[in-house]
């Protein structure tokens, strides 16, 4: 029995230490199926989604879901700490080491109390091990507790720096593509003689942003649960809108650099697919969830033509656009379902929808987007 208890305690300690190493220190995606951290997130995310679904309005649901990301980090760290305390407590209990200053009637209770005060380096000294091995384990646990605290202090700033980098670029897209961002609005607002240069530069920025997203969110998947400041913005919506624009350009959008569109499409699609694998979200191939049915595609062609863009027409072009969309849309739909983040439409249904920068809590103006941000004329 003693051997079993000690072995269980050692396994718990090693499991948490390895999980902390993979989650905080290791800068790459972990493909191992069973992970304590993955189990924690899957066990807590779905109940949180169900709890949020009980709230009446979409805004209230999104507000509650926004708490999950930061709160899950604190709960995960607490989960690791409790597991370490239990693991070392079982080691003390299984070894039946003599303890000075017994406080509880149960030997297990005294062992857990000693483990807790040692891990958090309280140094109370009211319960102490008397054997040499017990003292060695106490010193080892105190050192691990100190290192655990140091990792936590270094972990949180790294996460929030990555989150801040992600959100800055998303916020900049607000005035360029609307709220939520759409492919048509992004193109319309960049039309004109100087608009193509600005659009090419924007796609370059989003190529770098997508690479940074893939690097940071594969290393720290918890970032995917962090939501944007506004409920009509998200990293998935922004990434999908940019992929939509790239797909149109690759099919043939007069005036737009196809090379840059291909480069941005490749890395953005790569990030989307890899993240869907991390969260176990297989591509959704339900044809009924088509984001761009034929009627809407024809309407999009007409609207783009009015904005000064000519989208290549014909059966071959339509089939190529459908093929390109099939490379990323099923993954975007699956991830949006899992994370409860809405995907953007190709075009907004209403012509008068205010961007986030146009709204305040004190003044509600009824300025249309087309009036607020006119398309560039031939003079720029």
CA distance 344 to 157: 31
Give the model confidence (pLDDT) of 343-356 as tens digits: 999 988 765 567 77
At residue 99, the 3 state secondary structure works out as strand
**180: cis peptide before it, omega within 30°?**
yes
Give the model confidence (pLDDT) of 274-292 as tens digits: 999 989 889 987 867 889 9
Q: For 236-240, 253-257, 277-281, 373-377, which range has the lowest pLDDT when averaged over its residues?
A: 373-377
Residue of 160, 197, 276 whose CA lies nearest to 168: 160
Tokens of 289: 């969830």
pTM: 0.84
SS (H, E, C) 161-191: HHHHHHHHHHHHHHHHHCCCCCHHHHHHCCC
Region of 280 (left: φ > 0; alpha: ψ -120 to 50; beta: rest) is left
Length of the chain as a residue count: 380
Give the model confidence (pLDDT) of 143-195 as tens digits: 998 888 888 888 888 889 999 999 999 999 988 888 889 999 999 888 776 77
Helices (H), the chain: 2-20, 36-53, 58-95, 107-119, 132-177, 183-188, 195-219, 235-252, 258-278, 294-306, 315-326, 329-339, 369-372
Phi and psi at 299, nearest 5°, equal: -65, -40
- Do the Cβ atoms of 325 and 269 come closer than 8 Å? no
DSSP-assigned states of every residue in 330-356: HHHHHHHHHHT-PPPPSS-S-S----G
Show the domains of the chain with their CATH numbers.
2-154 (1.10.287.70), 178-351+365-372 (no CATH)
Give the model confidence (pLDDT) of 30-64 as tens digits: 777 778 888 889 899 999 999 999 988 888 899 99
Dihedral, 210, 211, 212, 215 alpha carbons, nearest 10: 120
User: What's CA 170's distance to the chain center, in Å?
Assistant: 13
């Amino acid at each position: 029995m003693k051997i079993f208890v000690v072995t269980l305690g050692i396994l718990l300690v090693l499991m948490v230490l390895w999980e902390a190493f993979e989650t905080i220190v290791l800068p790459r995606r972990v493909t191992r199926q069973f992970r304590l951290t993955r189990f924690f997130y899957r066990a807590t995310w779905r109940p949180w989604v169900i709890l949020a679904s009980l709230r009446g309005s979409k805004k209230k649901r999104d507000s509650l879901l926004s708490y999950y990301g930061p709160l899950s980090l604190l709960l995960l760290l607490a989960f690791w700490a409790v597991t370490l305390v239990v693991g070392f407590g079982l080691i003390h209990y299984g070894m039946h080491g003599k303890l000075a200053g017994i406080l509880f009637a149960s030997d297990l209770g005294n062992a857990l109390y000693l483990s807790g005060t040692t891990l958090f380096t309280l140094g109370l000294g009211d319960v102490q091990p008397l054997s040499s091995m017990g003292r060695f384990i106490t010193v080892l646990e105190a050192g691990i507790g100190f290192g655990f605290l140091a990792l936590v202090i270094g972990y949180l700033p790294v996460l929030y720096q990555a989150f801040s980098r992600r959100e800055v670029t998303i916020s900049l897209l607000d005035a360029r593509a609307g709220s939520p961002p759409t492919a048509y609005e992004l193109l319309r607002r960049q039309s004109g003689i100087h608009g193509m240069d600005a659009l090419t530069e924007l796609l370059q920025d989003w190529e770098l942003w997508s690479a940074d997203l893939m690097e940071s969110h594969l290393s720290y998947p918890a970032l995917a649960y962090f939501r944007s400041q506004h409920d009509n913005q998200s990293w998935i919506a922004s990434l999908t809108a940019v992929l939509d624009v790239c797909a149109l350009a690759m099919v043939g959008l007069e005036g737009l650099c196809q090379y840059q569109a291909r480069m941005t499409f490749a890395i953005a699609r790569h990030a989307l697919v890899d993240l869907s694998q991390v969260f176990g979200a297989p591509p959704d191939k339900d044809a009924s969830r088509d984001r761009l049915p034929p009627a809407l595609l024809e309407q999009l062609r007409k609207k783009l033509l009015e904005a000064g863009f000519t989208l290549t027409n014909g059966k071959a072009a339509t089939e190529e656009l459908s093929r390109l969309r099939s490379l990323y849309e099923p993954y975007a739909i699956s991830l949006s379902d899992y994370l409860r983040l809405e995907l953007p439409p190709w075009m907004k249904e209403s012509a008068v929808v205010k961007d986030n920068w146009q709204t305040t809590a004190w003044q509600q103006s009824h300025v249309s987007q087309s009036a607020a941000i006119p398309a560039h004329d031939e003079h720029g």
